[in-house]
Amino acid sequence: MQTIIKIKNYLSDYFQDVLMTSLIIIFTYLLICHPEDTTRGVSTGIGYCVKLLVPSLFPFMFLSRFAAMLEPLNFIKKPLDNITKALFYLPGSAAPVIILSLLGGYPVGASGAKALLEKKEINSEQLNRLMCFTVNAGPAFIINVVGYSLLKNPFLGTVLLAIQVGISLGCGILLGIIARFKQKPFYVKPMEEKVRLSPSEALVESAAQTSSAVIMMCSLILVFTLIISTLHASGFFDYISNLQKILKISSESLVCLIISCLEITSGCSFAVNHFISVPLIAFIISYGGICTHFQIASILNKTNLSYFKFHLFRIINACCCFGAAYLILNIFEFSTPVFISTISSSSPSSGAGALGSVALIAFCIYFTLSIKN
């Protein structure tokens, strides 16, 4: 039996090595053949980080860690304990993380949850439940970027925000009920283990950890914008238009969905010049993209995060947001302008398109195998 397991592990590792080597060769070829497009992709990623993500996310990520480490809400700790235990079956120390995850951005919940776990305020089971409903886009992103800039309707952006908040909190409440049903023990940090940090210690530690997380986040965004620009240059997005008849959606929506599932900011930027449905926007905002998932995985490194459960609830959240937005738009009438595409697509060679397709498929297979291992 052990011999069979060793053989399976060897074959799995060998297949991953071959796949990764092929992936590197393909992307190296595309980088050499399309230097201008790949350079533009990295420059775009730097612009996203400097102008949008760092200014909007750093304050909330820092605040969530600082609140979790300093415990500034101790004077209302007992009411918070009662509320969070009744609603989410979580200790009161998780309340600031839940609130700030709804006000900040995607990695804010992970940053605060990591701080709680390090202080032993929550256990691994509670961490996994927190990460199922504390991964949300912030109000600034949904209302200003999506509502005002994209949909030209701030009120509709507010509706999308309300949908996300309602479904996220609903998932948290449902998970609390399931934990009670499964008779999970309610973990609370013993009083004798509490170590209260001074404000200066909490400030320095929070700033250091947040800076490290933001650097990792920006690095991943640069990688994914590079991947997206390479796929654009290879002609991959021109060749998937044949799927629109099978999926019964427009080619622009399909491309936007794929880009957004890789990196959310690039997907929203693409949507500025293309018409996509509001329910689809709600879906991609709630899902967050694989780049965001990697950011959260890097923040929660060396914890017992169940990526399968995390990803499953991202899909559930996204589908629920899609359905809620679809129902609301059919009940109420909202005026949104029709976007006009101003981007003309070139016709790349079939060889480049085929390589781009193979590269994306290989990347997805390798990613799946890595998560499984």
202-230: burial string, b at 16+ Cβ within 10 Å, e else: beebbeebbeebbebbbebbbbbbbbbbb
Give the integer Cα–Cα distance in Å for 361 and 4. Answer: 28
Between 23-37, 121-135, 224-238, 351-365, the lowest mean confidence (pLDDT) is in 351-365
Reported as a pLDDT band with limits 50, 70 and 90, residue 358 is very low
pLDDT top residue among 245 and 120: 120
Segment 262-276 shows an average pLDDT of 73
Residue 331 lies in a domain: yes
Q: Is the pLDDT of residue 350 over 80?
A: no
* pLDDT of 367: 43
Letter for the amino acid at 124?
S
Q: What is the pLDDT of residues 71-88, one digit of tens each?
A: 655 556 667 778 888 999
Average pLDDT taken over every residue of the chain: 76
Least confident of 78-87, 185-194, 288-297: 185-194
Per-residue pLDDT reduced to its tens digit, 116-164: 888 888 889 999 999 999 988 878 778 877 777 677 788 888 899 999 9
HEC string of 126-181 equals HHHHHCCCCCCCCHHHHHHHHHHHHCCCHHHHHHHHHHHHHHHHHHHHHHHHHHHH
Residue 368 lies in a domain: no
CA–CA distance, 61 with 15 (Å, rounded to integer): 38
What is the C-alpha separation between 174 and 287, in angstroms, rounded? 19
Domain count across the chain = 1
**pLDDT for position 102:** 86
Share of the chain above pLDDT 90, in %: 13
Question: Per-residue pLDDT tens for 7-47?
Answer: 777 777 778 888 888 878 877 887 788 778 778 888 888 88
pTM beyond 0.75: the answer is no
At 72 the pLDDT is: 53
290 inside domain: yes
pLDDT confidence of residue 23: 79
Of the two residues 218 and 150, the one the predictor is more confident about is 218
Q: Is residue 21 part of a domain?
A: no
Q: How high is the pLDDT of residue 77?
A: 62
Q: pLDDT category, 319, cuts 50, 70, 90?
A: very high
Binned at pLDDT 50, 70 and 90, residue 370 comes out as very low
Q: Is residue 125 part of a domain?
A: yes
Q: Residue 88 has what pLDDT?
A: 92
Q: What are phi and psi of 187, to 5 degrees?
A: -85, 130
- Residues 6 or more apart whose CB falls under 8 angstroms from that of 120 comprise 189, 193
What share of the chain in percent tops pLDDT 70?
Answer: 77
Mean pLDDT check: name the lowest of 155-159, 215-219, 341-345.
Answer: 341-345
Q: Say what the pLDDT of residue 340 is.
A: 35
Confidence of residue 183 (pLDDT cuts 50, 70, 90): confident
Q: Are 56 and 264 in contact (CB under 8 A)?
A: no
- Containing domain of residue 141, as a range? 34-342
Residue 361 has a pLDDT of 45
Establish if 3 belongs to a structural domain. no
Q: Does residue 189 form part of some domain?
A: yes
What single-letter amino acid sits at 294? F
- Confidence at residue 167, expressed as pLDDT on a 0 to 100 scale: 94
Q: Which of 13-27, 210-224, 309-323 has the highest mean pLDDT?
A: 309-323
The answer on pLDDT for 341 being more than 50 is no
Residue 12 lies in a domain: no
55: number of CA atoms within 13 Å, CB side?
A: 8
Cα 266 to Cα 159: distance, rounded to the nearest angstrom: 22
Residue 342 identity (one-letter amino acid) = T
Residue 96 has what pLDDT?
82
Sort 154 into a burial class: Cβ within 10 Å, 0-12 / 13-18 / 19+: middle
